[in-house]
Amino acid sequence: MLANKPNNFVARGWLELLVAVGLGAGLAPALAEAAWNAVVRPDPVTRQSRCLLVSDAVITTDGYDATPVFLVVDGANLRVITESELDDSFNDLRLEVDTEPLIQGSQIIHKKMVLVFDRDVPRLIERFRVGKQVAVHLRFWPTWPATQSFSVRFSLAGFSRAHDRFTEGCQPTG
């Protein structure tokens, strides 16, 4: 399954991160009992080691196979990381925190496997801090004929505590 995917950034650097923060179990749309962690790891795009705020991964279907999806906050933006190529042709890649209005993704980068949210990040972080869950709506390519968008849900339990550690530069508590 995942081991047969092409060699990409998740298989090389991020697989260790997924193991370190714990791989969420189950398929979407089930809500992952996700933890959030402030960790020093290579950035998925720049490969520079830095403090990142990372959710546990949720395994979801991409229409053909299963793929891990996890969220990364780097201070400037929120990134949705997956091993499957994203399809933005329907302009429906977005997220929602609880029942707040939907937020449209800004761009897809890095081999079309990273969805970036970079608009009004401080407000988005505040929503995460007070929210209970976030749903990320993704569409994967190629699914022919076009099928649907997949909703991947993450718990926001532990986000505020991990965010506090993140703003302190991933310093250990204690």
Tens digits of residue pLDDT in 76-93:
999 999 999 999 888 899
Topology adopted by domain 2-167: Immunoglobulin-like (2.60.40)
Q: In what order do the strands lie in the sheet with 103-104?
A: 31-32, 150-155, 133-138, 94-97, 103-104
pLDDT recorded at residue 126: 96
Characterise 91 by phi-psi region: left (phi > 0), alpha (psi -120 to 50), beta (else). left
Beta bridge partners of 37: 54
Q: Residue written as tokens 């532990």?
A: 158
Tell which wins on pLDDT, 8 or 135: 135
pLDDT recorded at residue 149: 87
10-14, 65-69, 77-81: the lowest-pLDDT one: 10-14
Q: Dihedrals φ, ψ of 136, to 5°?
A: -105, 125
pLDDT of 22-49, one tens digit each? 443 334 444 444 489 999 999 887 889 9
